[in-house]
Amino acid sequence: MDRVVVSIGGSVLIPEKDDAKYIKALADMLRDVSKEVEIMVVCGGGKVSRYYSKTGKELGGTTYQLDELGIGVTKVNAKLLDIALGDAGIGKVPQTAEECASERRIGKVPVMGGTEPGHTTDAVAAMIAKACDADRIVNASNVDAVYTDDPRTNPNAKRLDKITIDDLEKIVYDEHDACRSSVFDPLGVKIAKEHRIDLLMVDGRDLVELKNAILGKEINGTFVNSQ
């Protein structure tokens, strides 16, 4: 039985247009695939967490405090998805990666948010994957794959079908802000590399693509080989 951790970006979960419709469709898909694989989900904070971070900063908040605000939003987002899952949800938001991993079972989908200041929910996904020796991590963001550069600003950026975890490590460390990455949290990459967990980078708004990634089928996004 495959074991899969899904990291869903906050802006994918809350598209700010028909949010309930997307979350319901996502929950239905997750309920469906939870009968075939053991799934655990982590939700990001999206625009709402950026709003709190910005406002908290204007009020003189420390980096630690801004992270705490972000974590709060990720947990609220996780609760939304748990509600949408109904019977397939576990009725609570796990507080640690270990607790989330221990809640996994066929037909159930534990959903959590962040844990501690200093990293993002991508890193939490890798921590859960480590805790339960998962087969793969699926990163559902609003970018359809990994590119050689930012496709929004560089029209020559090339889409990558298949890369190694060392290639991804280079990409995330080369990014502008050394520790905060838009592709995948560098701490998450480090954990995935150490524990040889493959990463699948897909467009989370495309539920067919996301389902294929969870089930380990062919994807249009980027497959990151950690073996």
Residue numbers of the site for ligand UTP (CB under 6 A)? 9-10, 44-45, 49, 66-67, 70-71, 74, 114-122, 124, 182
Nearer to ligand UTP, 44 or 89 (CB): 44
Distance CA 154, CA 137 (A): 28
Q: What is the DSSP annotation of 181-206?
A: -SSS-HHHHHHHHHTT-EEEEEETT-
Instruction: In angstroms, give the least distance from the CB of 106 to ligand UTP.
Output: 27
Instruction: In angstroms, give the least distance from the CB of 149 to ligand UTP.
Output: 17
Nearer to ligand UTP, 64 or 107 (CB): 64
Q: Where are the alpha helices (DSSP H) in the chain?
A: 10-13, 19-33, 46-58, 63-85, 97-102, 121-132, 165-174, 186-194, 207-214
Instruction: In angstroms, give the least distance from the CB of 75 to ligand UTP.
Output: 9
Nearer to ligand UTP, 80 or 215 (CB): 80
> The sheet that has 222-225: what strands, in order across it?
111-112, 38-43, 3-8, 136-141, 198-203, 222-225, 162-164
Instruction: In angstroms, give the least distance from the CB of 218 to ligand UTP.
Output: 25
Question: Left (φ > 0), alpha (ψ -120 to 50) or beta: where does 113 sit?
Answer: beta
Instruction: In angstroms, give the least distance from the CB of 107 to ligand UTP.
Output: 27
Instruction: In angstroms, give the least distance from the CB of 1 to ligand UTP.
Output: 27
Q: Which residue has the tokens 């939490």?
A: 124
Q: Evaluate whether 41 touches 110 at the Cβ level (below 8 Å).
A: yes
Nearer to ligand UTP, 49 or 222 (CB): 49
Nearer to ligand UTP, 88 or 112 (CB): 112
Token pair for 205: 């708004």
Nearer to ligand UTP, 120 or 212 (CB): 120
Position of minimal CB gap to ligand UTP: 70
